[in-house]
Amino acid sequence: MSECRFLPQRIERVYTGPLPEDRGIEHRIDQVAVEEPLEIQVARPEPTAVVATAAITMRTPGHDPELAVGFLIGEGIVRSLSDVLKVETRVPRPGVQIRVVLRAGCAFDLERLRRNFDATSSCGLCGKASLQGLSMDAFAPLPQADPDARIDAARVADLPRRLREAQEVFERTGGLHAAGLFDAGGAPLVVREDVGRHNAVDKVIGACFLAGAWPLPGSILAVSGRASFELMQKAVASGIPMLAAVGAPSSLAVEVARRYGATLVGFTKANGFNIYAGGERIAVSAASPLVAALS
């Protein structure tokens, strides 16, 4: 099974400089991020074997078992390490399937899976045919912030740089999102890339789960794009108390963060960031000369 994540493509590079000699077309080879479909299946073991398709997602090949398990965690289907018996990779032609076999006593709603059948690389929610997909009742509120274990604001602001440094395929293509799990000191634990934001997060969460590290309290999830409802849901489902995004959050992401006691940070840059929820987990210097005004 190939896990090629980028491919060479012949392109024409067009230059439009101010002077005639700066204009023209250059024929060259560029590297393009690979996007291929993956079917995620969930199954019960014998003697009452049941197999259902949980999602079909467009993803960048690589770390597919992690993606499948992370997706099922975010959907509330997998809730503990003991829920998963095995993860199987199947390669029918064409396509790739990842089958996650759950323990006999682990229940899942087949009808709900059918309603949520389609996901895309841009937004998994787009494929959900029912607002029941927005239910967060399966997840418990996060523990209250420990005032003695707050994370320094400078470390939060440095997360995009650390995430960017770990983006190997982005360096070649410029076409992938990234997600990374960091410890309270800002050190990277797991970083994954994908054409889809939610896929990158699923791969991070799935990698930790398959390594026996789950749930993930005391960690920070950093993402290269915006913070959507779905990404906030995945963080809450995994017990991750803080999500830091390079881009903007959505209103529903803010609502979910506040409802479950999570910290949500957006527009994270080297010189600062916005706190939308859970600011008590972040230590900001009291010596700051800035005074905020609400209008």
Would you place residue 136 in the very low, low, confident or very high pLDDT band (cuts 50, 70, 90)? Answer: low
Q: What is the mean pLDDT of the chain?
A: 85
Would you place residue 123 in the very low, low, confident or very high pLDDT band (cuts 50, 70, 90)? Answer: very low
Would you place residue 44 in the very low, low, confident or very high pLDDT band (cuts 50, 70, 90)? Answer: confident
**Domain locations along the chain:** 36-125, 149-283
Question: Are 150 and 282 contacting, i.e. CB atoms less than 8 angstroms apart?
Answer: yes
Alpha helix stretches (DSSP H) within the chain:
64-74, 110-115, 153-157, 159-165, 168-173, 197-210, 229-237, 251-260
Residue 282, helix vs strand vs coil: strand
Would you place residue 38 in the very low, low, confident or very high pLDDT band (cuts 50, 70, 90)? Answer: very high
Determine whether 225 is exposed, middle or buried from the number of CB atoms within 10 Å of its CB (0-12, 13-18, 19+). Answer: middle
pLDDT, tens digit, 9 for 90 and up, residues 64-97: 999 999 999 998 899 999 999 999 998 876 679 9
208 is catalytic: no
Question: Are 30 and 11 contacting, i.e. CB atoms less than 8 angstroms apart?
Answer: yes
Would you place residue 111 in the very low, low, confident or very high pLDDT band (cuts 50, 70, 90)? Answer: low
Question: Are 263 and 277 contacting, i.e. CB atoms less than 8 angstroms apart?
Answer: yes
Report pLDDT for 126: 45
Distance CA 203, CA 193 (A): 8
Q: CA torsion sign, 244 to 190 to 208 to 133?
A: positive
Q: Is the per-residue pLDDT at 49 higher than 80?
A: no
pLDDT, tens digit, 9 for 90 and up, residues 241-262: 999 999 999 999 999 999 999 9
Q: Which of 4, 123, 126, 208 is catalytic?
A: 123
Report pLDDT for 105: 81
Length of the chain: 295
Cα 60 from chain centroid (whole Å): 13
- Mean pLDDT calculated for residue range 152-172: 85
- Mean pLDDT calculated for residue range 193-217: 95
Question: Are 243 and 276 contacting, i.e. CB atoms less than 8 angstroms apart?
Answer: no
- Mean pLDDT calculated for residue range 227-234: 95
Q: Which residues of 123-138 are buried (b: 16+ CB within 10 A; e: fewer)?
A: ebbebbeeeebeeeee
pTM of the model: 0.86
| Residue 177, strand partner residues | 194
Q: Is the per-residue pLDDT at 294 higher than 90?
A: no
- Number of C-alpha atoms within 13 angstroms, CB side, residue 181? 26
**Percent of the chain residues topping a pLDDT of 90:** 62
Q: Considering only CA atoms, which of 153, 174, 162, 163 is closest in space to residue 279?
A: 153
Distance CA 61, CA 193 (A): 10
Q: Is the per-residue pLDDT at 128 higher than 80?
A: no
Report pLDDT for 2: 52
Q: Is the per-residue pLDDT at 42 higher than 50?
A: yes
More confident residue, 45 or 269: 269
- Mean pLDDT calculated for residue range 139-151: 91
Distance CA 203, CA 94 (A): 22
Strand stretches in the chain, DSSP E: 6-16, 23-33, 36-44, 50-59, 84-90, 97-102, 151-152, 177-182, 188-194, 220-223, 242-245, 263-269, 272-277, 282-283
Distance CA 243, CA 281 (A): 11
Question: Are 117 and 55 contacting, i.e. CB atoms less than 8 angstroms apart?
Answer: yes
Question: Are 216 and 196 contacting, i.e. CB atoms less than 8 angstroms apart?
Answer: no
CATH number at 149-283: 3.40.140.10
